Amino acid sequence: MPLPPERPVLFFDGVCNFCNTLVQLVLKHDKKQQFLFAPLQSPLGKEVLSKMPGSNKGGNESAVLYYKGQYYTKGNVALKIASLLGGWWKLTGIGYLLPLPLRNRVYDIVARNRYKWFGKRDSCMVPAADVKSRFLSE
């Protein structure tokens, strides 16, 4: 399935409580309804991970944003999501002042401990009917 060229697609760990909270936050604040979503465990998510430059084959990815042909991972994913949400969320852009290796290190610590700290579901979330069209099924 080709990814939409002009819409951001957030790939997330569908069984991670923290990641699902991130999806709910984006859904709530995405006034333009521009974001699309897909679990990393889905066939499309697995395909994206396998083709992604510098993909973390160790399975430590908890969120990947694809937008306009570019992948945003680790220390850049949350900052790019916030910038696309606009409004007050753009203020988080100050995070770019932190060096990328530091942002990536924080990401890696949270990603590595996400199940222990926030819990894990038995299966991927099922989107509510009103947002189901924004979730890519493949």
Q: What are phi and psi of 58, to 5 degrees?
A: -75, -5
pLDDT the model gives residue 62: 85
Q: Mean pLDDT throughout 110-132?
A: 86
Q: What is the domain range of residue 79?
A: 9-125
pLDDT the model gives residue 125: 74
Instruction: Write down the residue that tokens 């979330």 correspond to.
Output: 125
Closest CA to 9 of 100, 82, 56, 72: 72
**CB–CB of 123/15 below 8 Å?**
yes
pLDDT the model gives residue 12: 92
- Domain-embedded: residue 112: yes
Q: What are phi and psi of 12, to 5 degrees?
A: -140, 155
- Domain-embedded: residue 99: yes
- Domain-embedded: residue 4: no
Interval 19-49: pLDDT, tens: 999 999 999 999 999 999 999 989 988 888 8
Interval 42-89: pLDDT, tens: 998 888 888 776 655 545 678 999 999 899 999 899 999 999 998 888
- Domain-embedded: residue 105: yes
- Domain-embedded: residue 111: yes
Count of the separate structural domains present in the chain: 1
